[in-house]
Amino acid sequence: MQSSDNNTIKQALNERGGFHVWWRLLRPHTLTASFVPVFVGTMIAFNEGSIDWLLFLAMLVASILIQAATNMFNEYYDFVRGLDTDESVGIGGSIVRDGIAPKRIRNLAFGFYGISILLGIYICMTSSWWIAVIGLVCMAFGYLYTGGPLPISYTPFGELFSGVLMGTVIIGITYFIQTGTVTAEMVWISIPISIFIGSINLSNNIRDRDGDKIGGRKTIAVLIGRERSVTLLAFLMIIAYVITGILIIIGNLPLWSLITFFSAVKAREVIKKFRGKTEAIEMMPAMAATAKTNTIYGFLLGISLLLAAFI
């Protein structure tokens, strides 16, 4: 009976075998949260002068590897703590539905960390060794998000940590290795990206609220309820667009950045798809739309900075 239920869930989530098992483990829909900050940080630097494309590629790959490793640690520790079952959605399912050994996934995550460290050494040799300190702190938080005695994901601060570290901090590192400095303008430009990345986390927690409550997590969604969390999500997205508009008006962003408002169509779709839903699998489209909002906004923001550099 359990095997039958397992197959039903896999079919509903369109989960296939082979390479697809490992691809799902990476949770590819979340990886834009690592690509977008590197792209935006590089385009801010490019808008102010030339850039080193090898540094850009090294930073991009390292950031994606750290994000993927964080997802793997999440998969491993949620299974160890009994939070994930074969009926859980929004996870890779590599352990509970595909039978991959948990330690194999944990070791693969450490392997990804090892490769990112090697890339980090190259980045530090080309820029500054202070980047090593910041990078190691980011990696530590990536591990502690679901690992350690008090995982961040079990607290109301998951959205804050993910948004700031993967938004402002990654953009700051990317900008710094290209320019050798950090500016107030760069920090302000990074804030909407931080909000959208934090929103991905919030969407995830809205979808998983019922299971998280049973598992003992104290996320924002658990503490204030699903509907209020959706309202908070809408408010945060509005704030991100308001900040963008202000930055355009005061000249921190070029007029070209008005194209970022095209992503508001997808942001509106997120809220519509969340409203009235109670089952986790029903909220999967809303979760995907949140990640796409971040992708579209970040891509358009980077393109606007690129256009401003040439026109």
**Each residue's pLDDT tens digit, 183-221:** 999 999 999 999 999 999 999 999 989 888 888 889 999
| pLDDT of 143 above 70 | yes
End-to-end CA distance of the chain: 63
- Which of 14-18, 150-154, 160-164, 264-268 shows the lowest per-residue confidence on average (mean pLDDT)? 14-18
Give yes or no for a contact between 220 and 261, defined as CB atoms under 8 angstroms apart.
no
| pLDDT of 6 above 80 | no
Query: What's the pLDDT band for 19 if we cut at 50, 70, 90?
Result: low
Percent above pLDDT 70 for the chain: 90
**Each residue's pLDDT tens digit, 227-276:** 999 999 999 999 999 999 999 999 999 999 999 999 999 999 999 999 99
| pLDDT of 5 above 80 | no
Distance CA 153, CA 20 (A): 26
Bigger pLDDT: 217 vs 84: 217
Distance CA 206, CA 210 (A): 9
Give yes or no for a contact between 216 and 154, defined as CB atoms under 8 angstroms apart.
yes
Q: Which amino acid is at 254?
A: P
User: How much is the average pLDDT of 151-177?
Assistant: 93
In the chain, at which residue ranges do the beta strands (DSSP E only) sit?
A: none
User: How much is the average pLDDT of 55-66?
Assistant: 93
Highest mean pLDDT among 11-15, 107-111, 149-153: 107-111
Percent above pLDDT 90 for the chain: 57
Query: What's the pLDDT band for 85 if we cut at 50, 70, 90?
Result: low
Query: What's the pLDDT band for 4 if we cut at 50, 70, 90?
Result: very low
Give the pLDDT score at 86: 59
**Each residue's pLDDT tens digit, 299-310:** 999 999 999 988
Mean pLDDT of the chain: 87
Q: Which amino acid is at 146?
A: T
Sorted by where each starts, the structural domains of the chain and their CATH numbers stand as 24-310 (1.10.600)
| Sequence-separated (6 or more) residues with CB below 8 Å from residue 46 | 178, 305, 306, 309
- Which of 29-33, 133-137, 214-218, 267-271 shows the lowest per-residue confidence on average (mean pLDDT)? 29-33
Model confidence, pTM = 0.87
| pLDDT of 136 above 60 | yes
Distance CA 81, CA 239 (A): 36
